[in-house]
Structure 1
Amino acid sequence: MALPNKITLFFWKITLVGYVIAYPDKYEFQDIDTNMKFNLLDILNDYTESEKDHRRDSTDDPYENWTGRWMPSRPGEPTPPPKVVSNKGKDEESHHDSRVPMGVKSPDCDDGKTNLTVDWDHSVTSYTCYGQKINPDTEISPELYCDTIPKKYEAIHKCMYESIEYKDDIPTYGSHRPIWPTYGEYTYVPKQRWIHNLEHGAVVMLYHPCANSLEVERLKGVVKGCLRRHIITPYDLDETKPLALVTWGCRLTMSHVNKELVIDFIKEHALHAPENRVYKDGDFDDQLIKKSDIVSDEEDSIICFKQM
């Protein structure tokens, strides 16, 4: 707008304002030609808004003329806090979104051969005796312990890209790997594997590498003669009770073998597990020494009948 026009508009505004103040009851007038009433205050406001719009359109400020979206923000505005992104991998997130199927081999999750060092580094110290042989002590009584597992408890299958820890030294239930071991005797089997066998009703025999060899063989003979669904492996047990039997929810630790007690434990607790109808062998066989033999039948319909 030219300077003379601005001056004229300024004085015209002053005149209107002065008239309204002097004659507050006469700020309306009627046009003789059109017979329409006009309000001086409305006219003044219209001119004021029109001038503002004109200034907004004619400004040289590029920020004021910009009508698009500010990326990331308009200059001078405070910076928003950074977006927090989960550090979980896609595989881990998908695991928590859906259950990992049992027994389905997959190198991306568990095929029984990939990433096995997550559970065990294959060190010989896990199954080798470096100290003195442990003599059986008949003065030490066997100890039976059973966990109270909620009826609706469902163990989770975890893939090999995540570790599994347990609160007990000898766990009787818990999360485990999707692929379970073939039944039989092993040089060593990590607990993350054989807990899955427990869920299928198996008996797992554990023995300290330095346990008395005669006691170990006696216990092996009873277990092998009771049922096909068994796992035998060395384990880091307390030296006062270097022998143990584990079933789903229960364990029996001992210093020496009481055959009758062992048979009673197996008959009482074997096959009492959530998935006891699954009797087939698993596909994990790392460090397998000898596959188990059928005792009564493949389903172990009769427990310990050869020991009767």
Structure 2
Amino acid sequence: MQRFRLIFIYILVIAVAVALGFWLFKSSEKQEANMPGQELEYQGQGHMPSCTPGDPPYNSNPPTSGCHDPAPADWGTYDAALTDQKYIHNLEHGGIWISYKPDRVDAETVLKLKDFANRYKLIIVAPREANDAPISLAAWMHLLNLDSFDERAILEFIEAYHNKGPEVVM
């Protein structure tokens, strides 16, 4: 009788552990599905000149990983674009790169975007003619394209990926 009771307790403990594991797995799956933007494939962390930018071609526009400049850009705002390879290095350090198409974003919106660089560390805001969307947010292996200014979406992206690159700096 004692042996059956012990077997029953073991089975019960195993069943609870399996149920808990399944619940945790499903919870993390839902959390990943709710992350802002799209996740992109890793394209390496090589520094020029030991690699060639765009070889292989970047898998997103703007790029979110891959061959990049050995020195990052200074954090903050820019009125003229630097090379993508500079900004990719900042993404590697956990930064967020907010880029905008100057001909599709008005001056008031540019000021709102630049305010994020004043409110947060590790943010770059710069114009970028080559964007597919009027506003793009890039983090290491993550991208969010916006047709218009959406403060909530921008904040969610920053909260999700800020300071989460492979080389975290303070």
TM-score, normalized by the shorter chain, greater than 0.5: yes
Q: Structure 2 residue aligned with 1:216, among 103, 106, 110?
A: 110
Distance in 1 between residues matched to 2:117 and 2:123, nearest whole Å:
7
Q: Which residue of 2 aligns with 1:269?
A: 161
**CA root-mean-square deviation:** 2.1
1:223, CA displacement in angstroms? 4.0
1:270, CA displacement in angstroms? 1.1
Provide, for residues 165-211 of structure 1, a one-character-per-residue CA deviation record: whole Å limited to 9, x for no partner.
13333111111111111112222111011100000000111010112
1:257, CA displacement in angstroms? 1.5
Q: How many equivalent pairs are there?
A: 129
1:219, CA displacement in angstroms? 2.0
Q: Which residue of 2 aligns with 1:201?
A: 94
Distance in 1 between residues matched to 2:142 and 2:82, nearest whole Å:
19
Q: Structure 1 residue aligned with 2:148, among 256, 265, 269?
A: 256
Question: Is residue 2:126 matched to residue 1:233?
Answer: yes
Provide, for residues 9-31 of structure 1, a one-character-per-residue CA deviation record: whole Å limited to 9, x for no partner.
xxxxxxxxxxxxxxxxxxxxxxx
Unaligned 5+ segments in structure 1 are 1-142, 279-298, 300-308
Of structures 1 and 2, the larger Rg is shown by 1
Instruction: Return the structure number with greater relative CO, CA threshold 8 A, min gap 6.
Output: 2
Distance in 1 between residues matched to 2:68 and 2:41, nearest whole Å:
18
Give me the TM-score of the superposition, normalised by structure 2: 0.68
1:159, CA displacement in angstroms? 2.2
2:113–2:125 CA contact under 8 A, matched in 1: no
Distance in 1 between residues matched to 2:45 and 2:37, nearest whole Å:
23
2:37–2:143 CA contact under 8 A, matched in 1: yes
Q: Which residue of 1 aligns with 2:81?
A: 188
> Greater helix share, 1 or 2?
2
1:154, CA displacement in angstroms? 4.7
Unaligned 5+ segments in structure 2 are 1-35
